[in-house]
Amino acid sequence: MKRFLSSFLASLLALIVFFLLCFFLLMGIVSGLTMTTKKVSVESGSWLVMDLSKPLLEQELQNPFLAIAGSGQTTIMGLHNVVTAIHRAARDQRIAGIYLKLGETPNGFATSEEIRNALEDFKHQSHKPIYAYGDIASQQAYYIASVADSIFLNPRGIFEFRGFAVRLAFLKGLLDKLEINPQIFYQGKYKSATEPFRLTRMSEANRIQTTAFLQDFYRHFLSGIALARNLDTAALARYAAQGVIQQPADAVKLHLIDGVKYDDQMQETLKRVVQLGEDERLHTITISNYWKAIADSVHGQGAGQPAIALIYAQGEIIDGSAENQPRDQVIAADDYIKWIREVRRDDRVKAIVFRVNSPGGSALAAEKIWRELYLARKQKPVVVSMGDYAASGGYYISCMADSIFIQPNTLTGSIGVFTIIPDLHDFFQHKLGVSFDGVKTAPLADMGTIDQPLTDVEKKWIQNQIDTVYATFCQRVAQGRHMPVALVDSLAQGRVWSGLAAVLNGLADRIGGLDDALQCAARMSHLKTYRLEEYPPVKNPIQKIIESFNQELTTTKLKATLGSYYPLLQQWSDLKSTMGTPQARLPFWIFLP
């Protein structure tokens, strides 16, 4: 009896704890939903605060579980919403100026470029001040903030100005020790995605292409800062090369920033700018809350008017449907075919703007999306806006557009194909003591199994498949860009290009951001006013809760934990998916301090 009571009480306690956890989880969800729907007011004389350390997506994500995951927010803003909010703030008399909080920027080069351009527009159109301050100024954060009227840093803070670098990890030595043979097939001498598995250092071709686009990025970075701060580009390059900026005071001396202050001193400076007394309260509003305050009026613009479909394509290109995968990480062919077909058949939609931010993925999935966009282009204008990456498969799905807009520091091109079929025969036999045997009805029936090496016939068969996919890729580009196939092949070979080089070589049409692409689509459709229809469609709150719990909680926690190292995990995940099928994929991700 005593044992029974003990067991009963333990079970009862566990049940109570379980229901308490469910209760607090439910309260967290309700609180999160309340936070996302709470009405926000903008006080007169407010500083619009933008934290440059916050991640941005292409399309806004509202998720009450983000706060539970430790991110401290329930919304990750979309880039277009940020740019729209900055433009609206220029005309909003309640906004006194913009206050940039410096930090380590997790966003890509082209994303940073769009934000910086929007800030420049704000400054020139409104003549309102922009101030920047922080404890840490990463190179990208400083590049964005260089358009500010004044930049200040904590006296004991960190100012990074050391130039750009790309570092790659090579796994061939490890694979040799494990007796794993990565049987590699590729087309394109610059297609370096497989180099980590077959080499111990960068090939000369890869070194040439990486140096070229990195130098393009760096020159653009230096010239932008030099123009904004009235400095000499050569002098800036020399400062980075010699490592002369070690303390914030060094940056002040060389006129890269305007001074050093502690946070309380910075707050007093902001008060003085808007003519507030020492005891008066400084009004601030985050850009996320400001967007909530103006979103209804922005979305209400063009009501009843013809539409332009804005389709966001962010992440790895995969076959099938996304199902439970986070929408900011995959471009699932079946889902995008459905959405493109829907807007193609909708007479109210007069044009399509396809926003691509992808390093590529499945060649077959890219071909299927290309086909649907090709059919759409026959009926209405299709304009592509490229984000941080639109390379390999990302370029495949972009190349048929009527017009392609690109940022100077977008990575694009990488027109090439590869696949990897690992041979683990020796690993299984020598390291694990495992052997395999079987029967087959035809010589190629068991081709591609990982427990045996490929025969010469099988290798030739697979290489023919890769060559065919590459030839098709080049034909698609030639058709979309109105180029001879031979010229495309000379620009292809898997080579990665900067946005500037892409325009010069005819792979893109002009430098510009998403707003420029939307204006182009409106002109091509002869629209003076229009409304936006965004895809993927925004789900209702209940759907968001169910899907968000499965999708975003783990991803957001990983991002918060790993910080700037999260792309390494993403790259490893991408590499795992390359096994056995033709891939049109960028050979690397780039992230800088």
> Do residues 96 and 47 make contact, with C-beta atoms less than 8 angstroms apart?
yes
Q: Measuring CA to CA, which residue among 497, 516, 12 is closest to residue 217?
A: 497
Measured CA distances, 44 to 81, 283, 325 (Å): 22, 8, 42
Distance CA 54, CA 72 (A): 11
Distance CA 497, CA 430 (A): 43
Residue 403 is a catalytic residue: no
Residue 31 is a catalytic residue: no
Measured CA distances, 519 to 115, 202, 252, 313, 405 (Å): 18, 42, 40, 19, 11
Q: Measuring CA to CA, which residue among 587, 590, 589 is closest to residue 188?
A: 587
Structure-token pair, residue 310: 């804005």
> Do residues 139 and 161 make contact, with C-beta atoms less than 8 angstroms apart?
yes
| 3-state SS class at 414 | coil
| 3-state SS class at 548 | helix
Distance CA 339, CA 442 (A): 42
Q: Which amino acid is at 489?
A: D
Residue ranges in 346-414 assigned as alpha helix (H): 363-377, 393-396
Distance CA 120, CA 149 (A): 10
Distance CA 498, CA 195 (A): 21
Distance CA 421, CA 448 (A): 6
Distance CA 463, CA 549 (A): 42
> Do residues 392 and 584 make contact, with C-beta atoms less than 8 angstroms apart?
yes
How is residue 258 annotated by DSSP? S
Distance CA 479, CA 452 (A): 41
Which one of 54, 101, 191, 261 is the catalytic residue? 191
Distance CA 419, CA 439 (A): 26
Angle, vertex CA 539, rays to CA 536 and CA 541, nearest 5: 155
Structure-token pair, residue 501: 């080089």
Which one of 71, 138, 392, 525 is the catalytic residue? 392
Q: SS3 letters for 259-275?
A: EECCHHHHHHHHHHHCC
Distance CA 430, CA 262 (A): 62
Which residue numbers are catalytic? 191, 392
